Amino acid sequence: MGLRWLWRRFDELTGEQVYRILALREQVFIVEQECLYRDIDGRDAHAHHLLGLDASGSLVAYLRLVAPGYRFPEPCIGRVVTDPATRGQGYGHALMKEGIRRAAEIYPGQPIRISAQRYLEGFYGAHGFVPSGDPYDEDGIEHREMVRTP
């Protein structure tokens, strides 16, 4: 699989990296999922960003770790996405493992909360997240909060 990981605070990202991140998020969350929503939500500046690059340097996996207090009281992993052209290669699971590992380094001993699309509860469950609270609609897609305790 061999992804190369880049872990950056927002102010460390280059303009090209920001462009590639936003392009991938738009491709999946807005175009593929046919969901008009505000992707640029003001939280990127308060997050660490995990970029998974393939051997050619293409961005194929991404997530952000939002600092406590900007979305939830706990650190929050979100915008978890893989390039549709590379799905089925295990990049999503590798991304989550690396994201959880990095979150534990930055916020040791703290739980991690996510707002998961309901159809992905099993995926996140495989990484130790358990449902928390009732399902809810977010931008026309059913979600549920999930928490992973250390």
pLDDT tens for 2-33 read 899 999 999 999 999 999 999 999 999 888 88
pLDDT at 36: 81
Residue 104 is which amino acid?
A: A
Q: What are phi and psi of 93, to 5 degrees?
A: -65, -40
Whole-model pTM: value is 0.94
pLDDT at 53: 97
CATH number, domain at 126? 3.40.630.30
- State residue 33 phi and psi, 5-degree precision: -85, 0
Interatomic CA distance for residues 74 and 6, integer angstroms: 23
Percent of the chain clearing pLDDT 70 (strictly above): 99
- Give the domain range for residue 93: 4-148
Q: How many domains does the chain have?
A: 1
Q: How far apart are CA 65 and CA 11, in angstroms?
A: 14
Element (H, E) at 22: helix 15-25
Q: Which two tokens stand for residue 111?
A: 């739980």
* Integer Cα distance of 86 and 83 in angstroms: 6
**Amino acid 1: pLDDT:** 57
Instruction: Please answer whether residues 66 and 53 qualify as being in contact, where contact means their C-beta atoms are separated by less than 8 angstroms.
Output: no
Looking at residue 36, its amino acid is: L
